[in-house]
Structure 1
Amino acid sequence: MSTEFLDALTILEKDKGISRDVLIDAIEAALVSAYKRNFNQAQNVRVDLNVDTGTMRVFARKEVVDEVFDPRLEISIEDAKNYNPNYVVGDIVELEVTPKDFGRIAAQTAKQVVTQRVREAERGIVYSEFIDREEDIMTGIVQRLDHRYIYVALGKIEALLPINEQMPNESYKPHDRIKVFLTKVEKTTKGPQIFVSRSHPGLLKRLFEIEVPEIFDGTVEIKSVAREAGDRSKISVYADNPEVDPVGACVGARGGRVQAIVNELKGEKIDIVEWSEDPVEFVANALSPSKVLEVQVNEEEKATTVIVPDYQLSLAIGKRGQNARLAAKLTNWKIDIKSETDARALGIYPREENLLVSEPTESDEEDDLFKDGIE
């Protein structure tokens, strides 16, 4: 075997991150198989590859015995002593059996092994790189589309964006740059397979971490996210420091921070509400932008009854129940919304134990665009 080939192993070690010793061990093991296959030998053999000279030798390994039953695996004590008088029964004798034309077979075998190991190593490197980025956000380039997936290039690998993880309000074309959320990294026989999403709530969370420094440094914490991709989302935030306005930090000056996220999500509306340990306050906040008169809590069933002014009922429920549905997902509480008139008729409002959240005023009908997010 040429020294140039061994020099190539050193280069591969630097470029691909594959240990030279690992490659040499793999080549030696492959040469053993090649020897047995090409020379019809079933005996135990060992290949010695000299990395300094580039030479190789094949040795048959035979056990020293008193009586030989299989000459391919055994050697008599008398014959063994011809090689070394110190041999005793049970020792292993190695006899060189290198074929004259083994160099050609060795070169071909070594090339196949190195190619395979390089491929495996590259797959391993890619897998190690991406397994640590599960539930993270990356920017990719749309490569092609079919009836099952959109194929997104993430550096050295193509990720799969399934139909059910795409946003219904956007279309994709080759060469589009999009941000995606890595949902799963799988190791397969053909290499790592990466699945990404545009509709996962985690994408919204990561976008806020990128746009809002206070979230990135931990000053503001995202407590929960509820999302109906492409249409509307709600996110609850909290700050330990009473001097920090978590909602204002996420909205940004003139709504700049949240608007950047809305643009990335192709116009998806986002409500930002303040998290509270008190379910009364939290549920009321989650139903933003509607105003709430009272929240009645059933701890055992983890359910709430929310009373809203008559003119706010449709706003509280939302189009096709969306606002109430997202609020329930955000708070993890069941929410039953009733108008003030219906609640009075049922005798459940007002109660002696007043859980008043906010008094409706004339200005309640005018919603501030950036108070709780982008409407």
Structure 2
Amino acid sequence: MNTEFLEALNDLEKEKGIAIEVLLEAIEAALVSAYKKNFGSLKNVKVHIDRTTGEIQVMSRRDVVAEVSDDRAEIGLAEAKEIDPRYEEGDVVEQEVTPKNFGRIAAQTAKQVVVQRLREAERGIIYQEFSNREGDIVTGIVQRQEQKNVFIDLGKVEAVLAPTEQISGESYEHNDRVKTYIVEVKKTTKGPQIMVSRTHPGLLKRLFELEVPEIHDGIIEIKSVSREAGFRSKISVHSSDENVDPVGACVGPKGARVQAIVNELRGEKIDIVKWSEDPAVYVANALSPSKVLSVDINEKESVAAVVVPDYQLSLAIGKEGQNARLAAKLTGWKIDIKSESQAGLESEAELPIFEEDTDE
């Protein structure tokens, strides 16, 4: 150990942000173990590294006692006074016991400690970076699949796409570039474990934020998202500027913006609806693309009773109830849909009519 080694540690402190004192203390602790292991010593020792020269000293430590019961950790008062008359009972006598060939062992041990601490520091940096990105979207490259888990390279670390977070029917081939949503970042002994999703509603929200500048700028707000990944999603939007059509902005010129998101989600259908403070209007919009004749809101039971034209009933309900189910998730209302004839209506004119929003 020499001044060059200390200079190297100083460089690491600047580059990696690991305090040199932390490294030296870790090396000293490791050298105590190395000394006992290599020299079969049971003595109570400490190791000191000179912070200026890098010189290493192994010091035995024995407590001064009146009567010795363990000579590896204790020294009699009379013997201690022979070393230095100033010693009193309760003091600690330190004597250098550095072996002649300890330098080689020290260098090897120091290297192992530094490498380990660097690895821990890098893991810590990666953990901090990604723990702050929970709920964010990342792009990675598919590396491999193991037991249905897909491992995605994010550059500094691999993310895990569990089977439950994969879109049904979607395949993940080696070197495919995919966007995923960071669900959770766990700290483990092997480093940070990043769990990502392709099915989370947050992925859809983040994709719209990336594609629609008005959302990024705060002009348009995403109010709610409901999603059945791989099949269909609904998203409600609201504009703070009456001159900006929220649905049209999200669809984009010739549907370019929403189509880019559909392509990223491999063909998942997306309904973009206008949010409204009026729950009746909101529920009617949420059932798009079905036309709605009337909505009766029961606030006490949180139920919206919806009437649609007879020929629109199957469209309003959707395949296996999907459209109605997604609309209910989007609005937070239980939705009871009936056809015009089921509701016993004589004519469409007898009820409030919700005109289809031509912008949608």
Q: Residue 32 of structure 1 corresponds to which residue in structure 2?
A: 32
Q: Residue 182 of structure 1 corresponds to which residue in structure 2?
A: 182
Q: Is residue 323 from structure 1 mapped to residue 323 from structure 2 by the alignment?
A: yes
In 2: Cα distance, 1:290 partner to 1:319 partner: 13
1:171 deviates by 2.3
Q: Residue 98 of structure 2 corresponds to which residue in structure 1?
A: 98
Consecutive unaligned residues of structure 2, counting only runs of 5 or more, are none
1:224 deviates by 1.0
Q: Residue 173 of structure 2 corresponds to which residue in structure 1?
A: 173
Amino acid of the structure 1 residue aligned with 2:202: G
1:281 deviates by 1.3
1:8 deviates by 3.2
Once the two structures are superposed, residues 97-116 of structure 1 have per-residue CA deviations (whole angstroms, 9 ceiling, x without a partner) of 11222222222222222222
Q: Contact 1:149–1:160 (CA<8 Å) still a contact in 2? A: yes
Amino acid of the structure 1 residue aligned with 2:354: S
Instruction: Decide whether aligned partners of structure 1 residues 146 and 92 sit closer, same or farther in structure 2, where only a CA change above 3 A counts.
Output: closer
Instruction: Decide whether aligned partners of structure 1 residues 77 and 315 sit closer, same or farther in structure 2, where only a CA change above 3 A counts.
Output: same
Once the two structures are superposed, residues 296-336 of structure 1 have per-residue CA deviations (whole angstroms, 9 ceiling, x without a partner) of 22222211210001121121111222111110111121111
Q: Contact 2:62–2:93 (CA<8 Å) still a contact in 1? A: yes
Matches within 5 A, 1:191-202: 191-202=191-202
In 2: Cα distance, 1:265 partner to 1:117 partner: 41
In 1: Cα distance, 2:333 partner to 2:130 partner: 36
Q: Contact 1:201–1:227 (CA<8 Å) still a contact in 2? A: yes
Consecutive unaligned residues of structure 1, counting only runs of 5 or more, are none
Q: Residue 332 of structure 2 corresponds to which residue in structure 1?
A: 332
Instruction: Indicate the larger mover: 335-344 or 99-108.
Output: 99-108
Identity of aligned residues (%): 64
Once the two structures are superposed, residues 23-65 of structure 1 have per-residue CA deviations (whole angstroms, 9 ceiling, x without a partner) of 1110000111122223333333211112432320011122222
Instruction: Indicate the larger mover: 140-149 or 22-31.
Output: 140-149
Once the two structures are superposed, residues 267-288 of structure 1 have per-residue CA deviations (whole angstroms, 9 ceiling, x without a partner) of 2211111222322111111001
Matches within 5 A, 1:154-233: 154-233=154-233
In 2: Cα distance, 1:120 partner to 1:103 partner: 26
In 1: Cα distance, 2:215 partner to 2:209 partner: 5
Matches within 5 A, 1:79-118: 79-118=79-118
TM-score by length of 1: 0.89
Q: Contact 1:135–1:181 (CA<8 Å) still a contact in 2? A: yes
Matches within 5 A, 1:10-159: 10-159=10-159
Q: Contact 1:284–1:357 (CA<8 Å) still a contact in 2? A: no
Instruction: Indicate the larger mover: 74-83 or 214-223.
Output: 74-83
Once the two structures are superposed, residues 116-141 of structure 1 have per-residue CA deviations (whole angstroms, 9 ceiling, x without a partner) of 21221221111111111111101101
Q: Is residue 302 from structure 1 mapped to residue 282 from structure 2 by the alignment?
A: no
Instruction: Decide whether aligned partners of structure 1 residues 248 and 351 sit closer, same or farther in structure 2, where only a CA change above 3 A counts.
Output: closer
In 2: Cα distance, 1:277 partner to 1:45 partner: 74
Q: Contact 1:310–1:340 (CA<8 Å) still a contact in 2? A: yes
Q: Contact 1:281–1:357 (CA<8 Å) still a contact in 2? A: no
Point out 4+ residue stretches in structure 1 off by more than 6 angstroms: 349-352
Q: Residue 290 of structure 2 corresponds to which residue in structure 1?
A: 290
Q: Contact 1:344–1:350 (CA<8 Å) still a contact in 2? A: no
For the residue of structure 1 that corresponds to 2:85, the secondary structure is coil
For the residue of structure 1 that corresponds to 2:266, the secondary structure is coil
In 2: Cα distance, 1:306 partner to 1:156 partner: 51
In 1: Cα distance, 2:341 partner to 2:98 partner: 99
Aligned-residue Cα RMSD (Å) equals 2.3
Q: Is residue 247 from structure 1 mapped to residue 243 from structure 2 by the alignment?
A: no
In 2: Cα distance, 1:351 partner to 1:66 partner: 108
Amino acid of the structure 1 residue aligned with 2:332: N
Amino acid of the structure 1 residue aligned with 2:106: A
In 2: Cα distance, 1:350 partner to 1:41 partner: 97
Q: Contact 2:304–2:333 (CA<8 Å) still a contact in 1? A: yes
Amino acid of the structure 1 residue aligned with 2:118: V
1:174 deviates by 1.3
Q: Contact 2:284–2:354 (CA<8 Å) still a contact in 1? A: no
Q: Contact 2:293–2:348 (CA<8 Å) still a contact in 1? A: no
In 2: Cα distance, 1:99 partner to 1:198 partner: 60
Q: Contact 2:236–2:330 (CA<8 Å) still a contact in 1? A: yes
Instruction: Indicate the larger mover: 265-274 or 10-19.
Output: 10-19
For the residue of structure 2 that corresponds to 1:344, the secondary structure is coil
Q: Residue 278 of structure 1 corresponds to which residue in structure 2?
A: 278
For the residue of structure 1 that corresponds to 2:344, the secondary structure is helix
TM-score by length of 2: 0.92
Instruction: Indicate the larger mover: 8-17 or 248-257.
Output: 8-17
Amino acid of the structure 2 residue aligned with 1:358: F
Once the two structures are superposed, residues 187-225 of structure 1 have per-residue CA deviations (whole angstroms, 9 ceiling, x without a partner) of 112211111111111110001111112212222211110
